[in-house]
Amino acid sequence: MVPSSQGQVWSLDVVDDILLCGHNDGTFVVTKDKRPQWISRVTGGWQIIPLPGLPQRLLQCTYTGFVVFEKTNERWRESHKVDGFGAPVKQMIMDETGQVWAVHPSRGLFRLSFSSGWDTITKMTAYGAAQGLVDDFQLRMSQAGDTLLIYTDSQTLYRAPGMDDLRPLKSLRGQPIRGVDIMLEGREQAWFRMASDRLCYHRVGASQWCFPIQLIQDYPRVYTLTNGYYLFGMDSGYALLPQQLKTTPPDLVGQILITEVRVEDEQSDSVLIFNPMRWKKPQSPVFQWRQNHISFSYAHPSFVKNTTYSYRLRGTTEVWSEWSDQYEKEFTFLRPGHYAFEVKSRESDTVATFEFDILPPWYQTRWAGLGYLLLTGLLTWLLYRWHLRRLSIQRRRMILEKERELTQERIRLRNEQLQADNIRKSQALANSTFNLIQKNNSLLKIREALDKLHKDSGHKLSDTHYHQLNRLIDKHLSNNEEWVVFEENFNDVHEHFFKGLKSAFPELTPGDLKLAAYLRMNLSSKEIAPLLGISVRGVENKRYRLRTKLGLDINDNLSEFLMML
């Protein structure tokens, strides 16, 4: 471990045989004795690029904008910070005009123009939806020659020399682009396409080679080493690939194979087992019209991992099936015609194909007589359409009836559940309220006994102890925590009561709301008195003031009014 290098190392660059390390804590030179020599304390040295026409200067993007380094007396040092842009820049690429394309970690893409001395940002253009960039979060960039490639979570865009806007990338050097695969440059017209589960090698005029390795998703890198190899950085380690590959791609995952075709004749119960790998004839096999029950077995020998398959039967559909780990597929009642069964796996872009023909029956030929065939066909078609229509009507009727029954059942179960929940919550609220009443009654009786004891004893009980006990009783009588618990339980049962009451009568005090809640539970003044820690007379006075605030007449029942809210 290089001393002081613990933490994030964002970049390693060799410039004039000097190793520069962009680090979370700044930038330092790694000397021959593996000791760091700090040249900048600007945090987060994400990337370093040379400045065009200035071999003694470098530009670095950091957590807080840009820094320029200058080489003097064979030593690199920090020259200055660039004014005009203090936001973090995670990645940058310089285009053919000397402008810098910069990626902010969360705010998207910027195109920046620098002054001639590289000390100030003179122009800044932000790219968004108007320029074709739909998503601007966690962008990534790469270059393919002079073409700038920008990747989002849902699209790949490109910008060619001379262009100001961004356009969707459909293909690159003759190869179609799938989704948001990331392109990485190699040597001599070679490049790599990084998918989520593989890395594919492309070269102009050569076949595509795919390897079952995964690069680090957020920081994909392909390094071109001087010893004739490419170096790949992965979460689980490193991989090497020779730059001069053979003309035949290495078979890392094997080829997908159709291993068996079973053709069944429903009338005679005969089974024909067919091995496509041994089929040497140039023409496709031909089956009789009764041999229309065909199943395929396929496999993809691979030492990497189990794979999933997708298939289609051309002649019936052009759409590929969903990916599945099933390695067999059966087709029944195939009509006469020409078919091509195709299957592929996730581990390879190759497709295995098996073509075959099914002959029509004799009565479907012209020699059986066009007259009665047309009449029979028309009648059969009419009956078939009528039958389908009748089935469709019955199916719709059954579906509607089933949906109605299901809807009613769901409503019934929901209502029962709500009623059960409400009864349970009401019971819990009643129990907690009853316990609170009992506790407060007990405290009030203790207070009365304490007062009597203090009076009868001729004040032999010290005033200090007497007042301490009274304060303790008052504290438990006015316990706010118990009211909070009661309020939560009350809201579970009567969830809109407080909100509606406060909205209709905003002048109500918390004491009024507390009294209203007890009245809503149909408690008597005698039961409410210990809850509020006052006398029954005091409760009656509070009820009178609450009735006045609610604007009720003398004949209106206060409890009934509150229970209707």
353-386 tens-digit pLDDT: 999 999 888 787 777 777 777 888 889 999 999 9
Higher pLDDT residue, 8 or 1?
8
- Over range 519-530, report the average pLDDT: 79
The pLDDT-based confidence of 248 (bands split at 50, 70, 90) is low
Q: How far is CA 97 from the centre of its chain?
A: 38
Q: Is 215 helix (H, G, I), strand (E, B) or coil?
A: strand
3-state secondary structure 438-493: HHHHHHHHHHHHHHHHHHHCCCCCCHHHHHHHHHHHHHHHCCHHHHHHHHHHHHHH
Does 54 score more than 80 pLDDT? yes
The pLDDT-based confidence of 273 (bands split at 50, 70, 90) is confident
The pLDDT-based confidence of 303 (bands split at 50, 70, 90) is very low
Question: Residue 435: enclosing H or E segment and its boundaries?
Answer: helix 370-456
- Answer for the pair 526, 441: CB distance below 8 angstroms, yes or no: no
Q: How many residues does the chain have?
A: 565
- The number of helices, as runs of H, and strands, as runs of E, in the chain is 8, 33
First to last CA, the chain: 72
Does 25 score more than 60 pLDDT? yes
Q: What is the mean pLDDT of the chain?
A: 82
User: Is the Cα dihedral 143, 147, 150, 154 positive or negative?
Assistant: negative
Question: Residue 391: enclosing H or E segment and its boundaries?
Answer: helix 370-456
The pLDDT tens digits for 481-515 are 566 666 666 766 676 777 888 888 888 888 888 88
Paired strand residues for 185: 191
| CA-angle at 111, arms to 107 and 112, nearest 5° | 110
Count CB atoms within 10 A of the CB of residue 354.
20
Q: How far is CA 47 from the centre of its chain?
A: 29
- Answer for the pair 81, 42: CB distance below 8 angstroms, yes or no: yes
Q: What is the largest CA-CA distance in the chain?
A: 131
Share of residues in the chain with pLDDT > 90 (%):
28
- What confidence score (pLDDT) does residue 195 get? 79
Pairing status of strand 47-51 against strand 293-299: unpaired
Q: Which residues contact 198 (CB under 8 A, 6 or more apart)?
A: 210, 211, 212, 213, 214, 347
Does 28 score more than 60 pLDDT? yes
Report how far residue 565's alpha carbon sits from residue 503's, in angstroms, rounded to the nearest whole number.
12
Report how far residue 255's alpha carbon sits from residue 446's, in angstroms, rounded to the nearest whole number.
90
Higher pLDDT residue, 330 or 197?
330
> At 405, which amino acid appears?
E
Share of residues in the chain with pLDDT > 70 (%):
87
- Answer for the pair 309, 324: CB distance below 8 angstroms, yes or no: yes
- Nearest of 54, 45, 114, 50 to residue 85 by alpha carbon: 114
| Phi, psi at 437, each rounded to 5° | -65, -45
- What confidence score (pLDDT) does residue 88 get? 93
Angle, in degrees to the nearest 10, between helices 370-456 and 463-477: 160
Burial, 67: exposed, middle or buried (Cβ in 10 Å; 0-12, 13-18, 19+)?
A: buried
The pLDDT-based confidence of 414 (bands split at 50, 70, 90) is confident
Residue with tokens 């059954």: 398
Q: How far is CA 103 from the centre of its chain?
A: 22
- Over range 152-158, report the average pLDDT: 83
| CA-angle at 224, arms to 240 and 208, nearest 5° | 65
| CA-angle at 366, arms to 365 and 372, nearest 5° | 95
Does 551 score more than 90 pLDDT? no
- The pair of structure tokens assigned to 294 is 């065909």
Higher pLDDT residue, 247 or 409?
409
Q: How far is CA 58 from the centre of its chain?
A: 38
Return the minimum-mean-pLDDT range out of 199-208, 305-314, 502-511.
199-208
Higher pLDDT residue, 469 or 413?
413
Question: Residue 538: enclosing H or E segment and its boundaries?
Answer: helix 536-549
The pLDDT-based confidence of 254 (bands split at 50, 70, 90) is low
